[in-house]
């Protein structure tokens, strides 16, 4: 429904088109609502028309595995070498040496500030007692990030150089980002064998898309003048690309690198789910099983520390900087080496240190005490959100309004009254010439009365197709109908609607909260200084960690899942909104200031329109993140496609796993294409 | 009952083997035997005890962390050689597939007596007088109701991929409870913890041995005994119209290994087949690790030293 609202703000020349589409959808909706009681097939897709798609997919995947297994095993063998070398080097290097080296590098790159960051960060890892596990995790990331960066660069450049492939490449990226790793974990293990390499591959698959997208966006936004200058100075196409255009796009590419890194670190947990080596993810899983928030948070923080240190160092690398004294760096490193020598001689082992265990314990008890003291308040928060928000959205006012929840029973009379009011509002809007708005209000009301999870399939399919028609035209209609038709045929429709409802609600919440936070972060560096570490943490700490307090406070169920999804999916919205707002070219701002525009006027009239494409890319990422998080949310007992994926994992039903994963990807893809369709229109309307 | 008989039989077989045992070849003692460490402490104890026994027999042992659900392919490929605590209530179907294909060998029961049931933290007895008798639940179902289950009570069931035994019980006994799948073990524990902290009502499907049983003072609801007839004959039990109107059938805990184990390390195979561990032994060790915070290695080696009688004979029978 969030997508529906975009229509109201659509440019005026699509007005009649939008109105036509909205009226058609409204007609379908009313028909389904009136006749749904008599004709079941108007609401639920008839079972007779489903095909055993999961079996087919299972058989196809089985064939694929048997053919490609030898090749994949060889590849996995190949990857295991660098990983073992890096791992062995990191593990056997005495910790003071590593700390010294990182501090010295920090000094070289960014002077005292970054040297301190490196020292404090790695010092934290030492005193947490997770040094060895941390080094294992680092080894995994050291191999998977270059793999993902290379893959992402290649895909991004390919899409830029061969515009014909752009559509297909975007589809591929969406699939890579939205089909959850859990869905193809079983085939991946069969294919690549047991061990951390599978985790490495899964994390590279997941981390490459943000890189590719930003490379593409960056290249597309290179100034025409720079491009022309490159053409005029001669040289081959390859020289133009690598010597001029990519450096010119470096700022956007660095955003991609940063996102790629964060995504790779967030997937470290997958390696642990499979097992094979003792890394931080494994510690998180062990503590998560015991519902110990403190220790899980401590172990997860090690991943965050790595992310922050690597991110800040790499970000500083991209900026112009003053040269630091090499002698100081050498001195720092020498101190590290000296302490290393001492620690080897004294046989001092950091895994015995557990200085922060007491703190972890305190945090853990804190969560318990908070739950004990605020039980009633927490329940009130949960029940209010459920009764007046999520529940009506899922099963509709007609079913959600009960004496236990709203204090009265929703009857047919209430429905009549509700629709009468809606009809008046829509009628008034239509009479004032806003036919589209009127129809959209009526459609939204229909959804609210029926509930998203119980929405008749013709309403959903035709609704999505109509949006496609308005936003882009018949090509998108075709895509939407075929993809949604596949879900209908597979028999996973009901579960897909549940997933749609949950992620839709989360995306709506994220768009509002994330947009506001991103805006504030763009206007004030002080706000950003506070928000940024939170973003880093939410994006890289294994989300399992936050499931524990959410569960303690709100118990198993949809509200907890909703919160967990929001926590993860809100980050790209914040980051991209800020990035878009602050990256307005200086000359545009100067021009605005010169013509007498104030700070706010500049923000609204110059920065915001220029930022719109970036912000919409953020929304796109938020949608994809929300779908990606559905699987983790299934760990706290949601139903829908996420749960199917776990069921498939338990039953080793490769077909069900892959099909449910694909259904999830389809929903994300459709939502994403619709948003992008409107985004393109907006871009054109603004002349960007 | 069937499973009980089976474990009885294997106990018999064990004594027969121990008395008339023949010493087997040690095999490749220079190559490490890899044992799977899964995600829970009890399994770590079980595995480390077995590992120490193998070391006592003269083997090299390597512990490999492995996800419980994802370890079986690794065992079939020979990347891991044995896993020692598989719960029949919670084993992936992939296990059966690989076993039937001859890519996995089942190595007999561990002898750990497990119990599953419908449970509640002790304070809930005040919120539903009449517990632990199951009939009491009929009356006080509303006390367990939440936003998502109204007007029924809420039962926190196993994660969906472990099956739905709790929901089956509620249907069988015709109790007004709606089963909510937990999603993960961590979620089950968090529910127990939150309920204990908040003194709020909670009905949950749970099992022992588990450290949380004592940590949160968890009690089982008394249900009619889970006899075979209950699961096949609707007429049996308090509800004449339904099956499953009784307690859980006893769950089986067993070991499995790589099929090449027998040929490569014959004596180790024999030791692992004959190895058993009792709840009375495992539970205190789990407590020492999870509640007192000791290291698994230390706890296990202390136990090995103090209880030689319980394991030495199995090692000797295979090697001497």
CATH number at residue B119: 3.40.190.100
Please check whether residues B154 and B90 belong to one and the same domain.
no
Q: DSSP code of B66? A: B
At residue A312's C-alpha, the angle toward residues A306 and A317, to 5°, is 125
Q: What are phi and psi of A324, to 5 degrees?
A: -100, 160
Cβ contact B92–A195 (<8 Å)? no
Question: What is the dihedral sign for C-alpha A436, A442, A448, A453?
Answer: negative
Please name the residue of chain A whose CA is at the shortest distance from the CA of residue B73.
A190
> How would DSSP label each residue in B211-229?
HHHHHTTEEE-B-----GG
Chain B partners within 8 Å of A369 (Cβ):
197
Residue at B241 is within a domain: no
DSSP, collapsed to helix, strand or coil, labels residue B206 as strand
Side-chain-side CA neighbours of A424 within 13 Å: the count stands at: 5
Q: What is the pLDDT of residues B247-280, one digit of tens each?
A: 888 778 999 999 999 999 999 999 999 999 988 8
Q: Do A275 and B71 touch (CB under 8 A)?
A: yes
Axis crossing angle, helix A166-178 with helix A131-161, rounded to the nearest 10 = 160
SS3 string, B127-145, reads: HCCCCCECCHHHHHHHHHC
Q: d(Cα A521, Cα A515) in Å, to the nearest integer?
A: 10
Model confidence band, residue A510 (pLDDT cutoffs 50, 70, 90):
very high
Rounded Cα distance between A183 and A627, Å, is 13
In a domain, B247, yes or no: no
What residues contact residue B97 under an 8 Å CB cut-off, 6+ apart?
A652
SS (H, E, C) A5-65: HHHHCCCHHHHHHHHHHHHHHHHHHHHHHHHCCCCHHHCCCCHHHCCCHHHHHHHHHHHHH
The residue out of B173, B198, B231 marking a domain boundary is B231
> Could you tell me if residue B256 is inside a domain?
yes
Whether residue B210 has pLDDT greater than 90: no
**Is A361's Cβ below 8 Å from some Cβ in B?**
no
Q: What is the 3-state secondary structure (H, E, C) of A370-429?
A: HHHHCHHHHHHHHHHHHHHHHHHHHHCHHHHCCCCCCCCCCCHHHHHHHHHHHHHHHHHH
Three-state DSSP class for residue A99? helix
Structure tokens at A86: 């890096």
Determine which of A637, A643, A647 to mutate to test the interface with B (most B C-beta atoms within 10 Å). Answer: A637
Residue A320's pLDDT band (cuts 50, 70, 90): low
pLDDT at residue B22, rounded to an integer: 58
- Chain A residues in contact with B176 (beta carbon < 8 A): none
When pLDDT is cut at 50, 70 and 90, the band that residue B16 belongs to is very low
The answer to whether residue A556 neighbours chain B at the CB level (below 8 Å) is yes
Of A185, A557, A651, which is closest to B180 when you measure between CB atoms? Answer: A557
Q: Which residues in chain B are closer than 8 Å to A634, comparing Cβ atoms?
A: 183
**CATH number of the domain where residue B82 is located:** 3.40.190.10
Q: Quick: pLDDT tens for A10-49.
A: 444 445 788 888 888 888 888 888 887 788 887 888 888 8
Residue B317: closest CA among B51, B53, B35: B53
Q: Which of B76, B78, B198 to mutate to test the interface with A (most CBs of A within 10 A)?
A: B198
B163 and B264 share a domain?
Answer: no
CB contact at 8 A, A373 and A380: no
Measure CB to CB from residue A404 to each of B40, B77, B151 and give the nearest one. Answer: B151
10 Å Cβ neighbour count for A413? Answer: 8
Contacts of B76 in chain A (CB under 8 A): none
Q: Calculate how close chain B gets to A2, using CA atoms only, in Å.
A: 25
Tell me, yes or no, whether B239 lies in a domain: no
B212 and B298 both lie in a single domain: no
Contacts of B150 in chain A (CB under 8 A): 402, 404-405
A369 touches chain B (CB under 8 A): yes
CA–CA distance, A92 with B299 (Å, rounded to integer): 28
* Dist CA A229 CA A354 (whole Å): 59
Rounded to a whole number, what is the distance in Å from the CA of B130 to chain A's nearest CA?
25
Q: Count of alpha carbons within 13 Å of A48, Cβ hemisphere only?
A: 2
B-contacting residues in A 457-496 (Cβ below 8 Å): none
- The token pair at A516 is 């506001």
A382 vs chain B: nearest CA distance in angstroms? Answer: 9
Q: Which domains does chain A have, with CATH numbers?
A: 2-43+377-490 (no CATH), 93-128+290-364 (no CATH), 493-688 (1.10.3720.10)
Nearest to A285 among B39, B190, B193 (CB): B39
A342-357 per-position pLDDT tens digit: 777 777 666 666 677 7
Q: What tokens were used for A194?
A: 């047991």
d(C-alpha A107, C-alpha A96), whole Å = 16
Rounded to the nearest angstrom, the minimum Cα separation between A52 and chain B is 20
Query: Given A186, A386, A650, which is nearest B147 (Cβ)?
Result: A386
How far is residue B136 CA from its own chain's centroid?
28
Q: Which residue of A274, A402, A547 is in closest CB contact with B67? A: A274
Q: Model confidence over A515-531: pLDDT tens digits?
A: 999 999 988 889 999 99
Whole-angstrom distance, CA of residue A128 vs CA of residue A287: 15
Tell me, yes or no, whether B17 and B87 share the same domain: yes
- pLDDT tens readout for residues B92-138: 778 888 899 999 999 988 888 888 899 999 999 998 888 888 888 98
Considering only the beta carbons, identify the residue of A195, A289, A555 that sits closest to B39: A289
* Nearest-angstrom CA–CA distance, A46 and B63: 51
Chain centroid to CA B295: 22
Q: Which residue among B201, B231, B261 closes a domain? A: B231
C-beta atoms of A556 and B184 within 8 A = no
* Structure-block tokens of residue A122: 């790695």
Distance, CA of B161 to CA of A182 (rounded, Å): 13
**A111 vs B270: CA distance, rounded Å:** 63
Beta-carbon count within 10 A of A236 CB: 9
Q: Are residues B24 and B103 in the same domain?
A: yes
The pLDDT assigned to B79 comes to 87
Distance from CA of A82 to the nearest CA of B (A): 20
Instruction: Tell whether A72 lies on the interface with B, counting CB pairs under 8 A.
Output: no
- Which residues on B lie below 8 Å from A372 (Cβ)? 197-199
Share of chain A above pLDDT 70, in %: 95
**A44/B contact by beta carbon, under 8 A:** no
Give ipTM to 2 decimals.
0.78
Q: How far apart are the C-alpha atoms of A548 and B192, rounded to whole Å?
A: 12
Please say whether the beta carbons of B29 and B269 come within 8 A.
no
B121 and B88 within one domain: no
Tokens 């005292």 belong to A112
pLDDT, average across residues A85-92: 86
**Is B245 contained in some domain?**
no
Least confident of A609-613, B19-23, B102-106: B19-23
Q: Which of B71, B151, B182 sits opposite A556 (nearest CB)?
A: B182
Angstrom distance (rounded) from CA A558 to CA A554 = 9
* Residues in chain B within 8 Å Cβ distance of A647: 160-161
Secondary structure (3-state) at B82:
strand
Both tokens of A532, joined, read 């940024």
Three-state DSSP state, B271: helix
Q: Specify if B243 maps to a domain.
A: no
Q: In angstroms, what separates the C-alpha of A193 from chain B's closest C-alpha?
A: 7
Identify all chain A residues contacting B211, using CB atoms and an 8 Å cutoff. Answer: 290
Cβ B185–A289 below 8 Å, yes or no?
yes
Give the best-scoring range by mean pLDDT among A175-179, A325-329, A505-509, A579-583.
A505-509
Give a yes or no: residue B238 inside a domain.
no
Q: What is the DSSP string of B6-46?
A: HHHHHHHHHHHHHHS--PPP---TTSPEEEEE-SSHHHHHH
Q: What rounded mean pLDDT belongs to chain B? A: 84
Whether residue B28 lies inside any domain: the answer is yes
Shared domain for B308 and B211, answered yes or no, is no
Q: Which residues of B touch A638 (CB under 8 A)?
A: 183
CB contact, 8 Å: A387 with chain B? yes
Order of strands across the sheet with B218-220? B177-181, B153-157, B203-208, B115-121, B218-220
pLDDT exceeds 70 at position A2: no
* CA closest to B145 among chain A residues: A404
Q: B214 and B278: one domain?
A: no
Its pTM stands at 0.81
Q: Are residues B206 and B291 in the same domain?
A: no
Contact between A318 and A110 under an 8 Å Cβ cutoff? The reply is no
**SS3 state at B204:** strand
CA torsion angle A594 A598 A602 A604 (round to 10): -150
A282/B183 CB distance under 8 A = no
Suggest the residue from B141, B145, B148 to mutate for an interface test with chain A (most A CBs closer than 10 A): B148
- 3 state DSSP class of B119: strand
Whether residue B191 and residue A555 make contact (CB cut-off 8 A), yes or no, is yes
Say if the Cβ atoms of B70 and A291 lie within 8 Å: no
Cα A482 to Cα A154: distance, rounded to the nearest angstrom: 29
**pLDDT reported for residue A687:** 65
User: CA nearest B157 in A: which residue?
Assistant: A637
In the prediction, which pLDDT does A156 show? Answer: 92
A386 and B148: CB-CB below 8 Å?
A: yes
Residues B120, B223, single domain; the answer is yes
Residue span of the structural domain in which B31 resides:
2-113+252-319
Average pLDDT, chain A: 84
Q: Residue A647 is nearest to which of B97, B160, B184, comparing CB atoms? A: B160
Same-domain check for residues B107 and B119: no
Find, in chain B, the residue whose alpha carbon is nearest to that of A389: B147
What total of structural domains would you count in chain B? 2
Q: Which residues of A touch B103 (CB under 8 A)?
A: none
pLDDT band at A276 (very low <50, low <70, confident <90, very high): low
What residues of B are in contact with residue A387 (Cβ under 8 Å)?
147
In the structure encoding, which two tokens stand for residue A568, read together?
């993860």
Residue A4 banded pLDDT, cuts 50, 70, 90: very low
Using CA atoms, how far apart are residues A194 and A537, in angstroms rounded to an integer? Answer: 29
Domain boundary among B176, B202, B231: B231
A370 to chain B, closest Cα gap in Å:
9
* Same domain, residue pair B94 and B180: no
Q: Sort out which chain B residues have CB atoms less than 8 A from A660's CB and list them.
A: none
A180: left (phi over 0), alpha (psi -120 to 50) or beta: beta
Start-end of H helices in chain B: 2-19, 41-56, 71-76, 93-100, 124-127, 136-140, 165-172, 185-198, 211-215, 261-264, 266-274, 279-290, 296-306, 308-319
A416 phi and psi, to 5 degrees? -60, -50
- With H, G, I as helix, E, B as strand and everything else as coil, classify residue B86: strand
Which neighbouring-strand residues pair with B86?
B254
Q: How many CB pairs under 8 A join A and B?
A: 168
| Cα–Cα distances in angstroms (integers) from residue A567 to residues A313, A540, A543, A546, A605, in the given order | 26, 12, 9, 9, 31
pLDDT band, very low/low/confident/very high, at A119 (cuts 50, 70, 90): very high
Are the beta carbons of A276 and B65 separated by less than 8 Å? yes
Q: How far is A190 from chain B (nearest CA, A)?
A: 7
């Amino acid at each position: 429904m969030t997508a529906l609202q975009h229509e109201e703000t659509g440019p005026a020349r699509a007005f009649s088109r939008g109105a036509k589409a909205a009226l058609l959808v409204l007609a379908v909706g009313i028909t389904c609502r009136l006749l749904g009681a008599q004709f079941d097939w108007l609401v639920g897709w008839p079972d007779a028309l489903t095909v055993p798609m999961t079996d087919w997919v299972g058989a196809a995947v089985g064939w694929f595995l048997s053919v490609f297994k030898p090749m994949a095993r060889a590849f996995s063998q190949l990857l295991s070498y660098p990983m073992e070398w890096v791992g062995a080097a990191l593990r056997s290097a005495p910790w003071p040496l590593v700390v010294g080296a990182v501090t010295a590098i920090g000094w070289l790159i960014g002077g005292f500030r970054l040297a301190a960051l490196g020292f404090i960060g790695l010092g934290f890892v030492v005193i947490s007692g997770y040094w060895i596990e941390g080094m294992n995790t680092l080894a995994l990331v050291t191999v998977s990030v270059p793999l993902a960066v290379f893959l992402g660069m290649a895909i991004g450049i390919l899409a830029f150089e061969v515009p014909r492939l752009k559509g297909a490449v975007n589809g591929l990226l969406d699939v890579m980002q939205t089909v959850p790793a859990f869905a193809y974990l079983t085939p991946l293990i069969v294919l690549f064998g047991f061990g951390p390499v599978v985790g490495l591959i899964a994390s590279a698959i997941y981390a490459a898309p943000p890189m590719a997208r930003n490379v593409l966006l960056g290249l597309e936004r290179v100034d025409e003048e720079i491009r022309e200058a490159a053409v005029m100075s001669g040289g081959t196409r390859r020289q133009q690309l690598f010597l001029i255009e990519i450096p010119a796009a470096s700022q956007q590419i660095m955003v991609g690198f940063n996102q790629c890194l964060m995504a790779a670190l967030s997937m470290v947990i997958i390696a642990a789910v499979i097992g094979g080596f003792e890394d931080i993810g494994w510690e998180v899983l062990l503590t998560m099983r015991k519902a110990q928030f403190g220790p899980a948070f401590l172990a997860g923080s090690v991943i965050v520390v790595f992310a922050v240190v690597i991110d800040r160092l790499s970000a500083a690398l991209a900026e112009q900087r003053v040269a630091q004294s090499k002698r100081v760096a050498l001195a720092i490193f020498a101190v590290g080496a000296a302490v290393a020598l001492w620690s080897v001689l004294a046989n001092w082992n950091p895994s015995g240190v557990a200085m922060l265990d007491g703190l972890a314990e305190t945090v853990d008890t804190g969560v318990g005490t908070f739950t004990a003291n605020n039980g009633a308040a927490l329940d009130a928060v949960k029940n209010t959100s459920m009764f007046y928000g999520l529940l009506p959205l899922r099963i509709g006012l007609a079913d959600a309004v009960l004496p236990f929840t709203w204090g009265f029973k929703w009857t047919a009379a209430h429905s009549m009254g509700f629709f009468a009011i809606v009809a008046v509002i829509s009628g008034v809007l239509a009479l004032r010439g806003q036919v589209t708005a009127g129809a959209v209000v009526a459609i939204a009301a229909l959804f609210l009365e029926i509930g998203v999870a119980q929405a008749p399939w013709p309403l959903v399919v035709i609704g999505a197709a109509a949006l496609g028609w308005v936003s882009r035209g018949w090509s998108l209609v075709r895509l939407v109908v075929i993809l949604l038709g596949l879900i209908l045929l597979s028999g996973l429709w009901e579960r897909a609607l549940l997933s749609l409802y949950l992620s839709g609600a989360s995306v709506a919440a994220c768009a509002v909260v994330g947009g506001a936070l991103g805006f504030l972060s763009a206007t004030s560096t002080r706000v950003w200084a506070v928000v940024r570490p939170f973003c880093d943490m939410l994006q890289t700490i294994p989300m399992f960690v936050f499931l524990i307090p959410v569960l303690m406070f709100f118990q198993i169920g949809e509200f907890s899942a909703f919160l967990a999804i929001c926590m993860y999916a809100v980050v790209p919205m914040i980051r991209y909104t800020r990035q878009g707002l602050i990256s307005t070219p200086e000359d545009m701002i100067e021009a605005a200031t010169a013509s007498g525009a104030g700070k706010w006027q500049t923000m609204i009239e110059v920065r915001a329109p220029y930022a719109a494409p970036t912000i919409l890319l953020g929304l796109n990422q938020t949608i994809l993140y929300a779908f990606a998080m559905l699987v983790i949310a299934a760990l706290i007992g949601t139903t829908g496609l996420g749960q199917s994926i776990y069921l498939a994992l338990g039953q080793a039903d490769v077909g069900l796993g892959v099909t449910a994963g694909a259904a999830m990807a389809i929903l994300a893809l459709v939502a994403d294409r619709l948003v992008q369709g409107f985004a393109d229109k907006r871009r054109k309307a603004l002349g960007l | 009952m069937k499973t009980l008989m089976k474990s009885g039989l294997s106990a018999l077989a064990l004594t027969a083997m121990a008395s008339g045992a023949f010493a087997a070849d040690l095999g490749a003692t220079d190559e490490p035997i890899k044992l799977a460490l899964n995600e829970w402490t009890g399994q770590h104890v079980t595995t480390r005890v077995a590992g120490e026994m193998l070391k006592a027999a003269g083997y090299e042992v390597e512990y490999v962390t492995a996800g419980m659900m994802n370890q079986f392919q690794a065992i079939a490929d020979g990347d891991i050689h044995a896993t020692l605590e598989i719960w029949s209530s919670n084993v992936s179907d992939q296990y059966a597939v690989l076993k039937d294909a001859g890519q996995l060998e089942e190595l007999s029961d561990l002898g750990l007596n497990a119990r599953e049931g419908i449970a509640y933290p002790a304070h809930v007895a005040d919120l539903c007088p009449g517990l632990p008798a199951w009939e009491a639940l009929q009356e006080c179902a509303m006390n367990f109701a939440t936003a998502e289950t109204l007007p029924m009570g809420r039962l926190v069931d196993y994660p969906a991929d472990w099956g739905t035994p709790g929901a089956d019980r509620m249907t069988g006994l015709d109790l007004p409870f709606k089963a909510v799948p937990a999603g993960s073990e961590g979620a089950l524990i968090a529910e127990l913890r939150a309920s204990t902290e908040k003194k709020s009502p909670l009905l949950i499907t749970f099992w022992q041995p588990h450290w949380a049983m004592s940590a949160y003072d968890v009690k089982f609801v008394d249900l009619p005994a889970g006899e075979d007839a209950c699961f096949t004959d609707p007429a049996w039990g308090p509800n004449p119209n339904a099956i499953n109107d009784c307690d859980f059938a006893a769950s089986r805990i067993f070991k499995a290994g790589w099929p090449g184990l027998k040929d490569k390390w014959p004596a180790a195979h024999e030791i692992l087949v004959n190895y058993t561990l009792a709840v009375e032994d495992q539970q205190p060790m789990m407590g020492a690790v999870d509640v007192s915070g000791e290291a698994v290695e230390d706890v296990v080696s202390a136990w090995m030293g103090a209880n030689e009688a319980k394991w030495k004979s199995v090692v000797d029978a295979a090697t001497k």
